[in-house]
Homo-oligomer: A and B are copies of this chain.
Amino acid sequence: MRTERTTGRDRIPAHPDIDGIGLQQILEALVDPVRRLIVSELYRAPEPLSCGTIDLPVSKSTATHHFHVLREAGLIRQYYAGTSRMNALRREEIDAAFPGLLAALLPRP
């Protein structure tokens, strides 16, 4: 049999359904200041941002880790555009499942 290759669109990991996410997981994700910073930036941005666009006070591997946690918590959606990984806040879904949460947690503009 042939070796598996991780190519192209397989690079996009599965995103959890919002219904499978509990408040607990959301809070565990948002309790970290770095992750809250990421979410804030995505909240303000009109369009998805690549990982590199948001500059964070941590190393690259740590940043990857934080994006991973946010994705697993159902807070962001990720897809590739070339070598860049784009990130978008799943705003409507979150607002529907947890009304007022984002507004209460993010710094007021």
* Residues in A lying within 8 Å of B, measured CB to CB: 23-24, 27-28, 30-31, 33, 98-101, 103-105
Contacts and interface: CB of A to CB of B under 8 A. Distances in A.
Main SS at interface, chain A: helix
Contact of A23 (B23, B28, B99, B105): B105
A84 to B, nearest CB: 30
A101 B106 CA distance: 10
Closest CB pairs A-B (n = 3): A100-B104, A101-B104, A31-B31
A101 B27 CA distance: 12
Contacts of A103: 100, 104
Nearest to A103: B100
